[in-house]
Amino acid sequence: MVTFQEDIDWYGSAIEARLYAEDPRNDFLPATGTLIAYEPNSEVEARWDSGVEEGSVIGTEFDPMIAKVICYGENRLEAANKLSMALEAFSYWRSCYEPRFFSFYFTFRSLLKWLNYNELYRKS
């Protein structure tokens, strides 16, 4: 059966974000360590595809992707807003052992601040 573009109905929009264990201070190289907390936001309607949980070790043997988060909305703006809310409340703690031990707390808002700061820094 042949389907034409005009025969396809529009049923809203979906948008996806991919979360990686990468170190923005080190050219986004994979950041190894153990996830000592992993809390996807269950209050927002979102699909969380992930192969990690608390205690998972992020090593160098595989791609450092932690999760894919997919949100659906009646339109693109609604989908983007849901994704933003899902990521805003998502947090994880990672304990990194190389080159020295430290804990790193991440939220979507802190990443946006970091990206904005670095963009301003690059322009100066």
pLDDT at 3 over 80: yes
Superfamily of domain 9-123: ATP-grasp fold, B domain (3.30.470.20)
* Distance in angstroms (rounded) separating the CA atoms of residues 36 and 94: 6
Across the chain, the runs of DSSP E, i.e. the strands, are 13-20, 22-23, 29-30, 33-39, 47-50, 57-58, 65-73, 91-96, 102-106
Q: State the average pLDDT over residues 15-29.
A: 82
**Mean pLDDT value across the chain:** 76
pLDDT confidence of residue 92? 58
Q: How confident is the model at residue 48 (pLDDT cuts 50, 70, 90)?
A: very high
Q: State the average pLDDT over residues 74-98.
A: 74
Domain ranges (residues) in the chain: 9-123
pLDDT at 32 over 80: yes
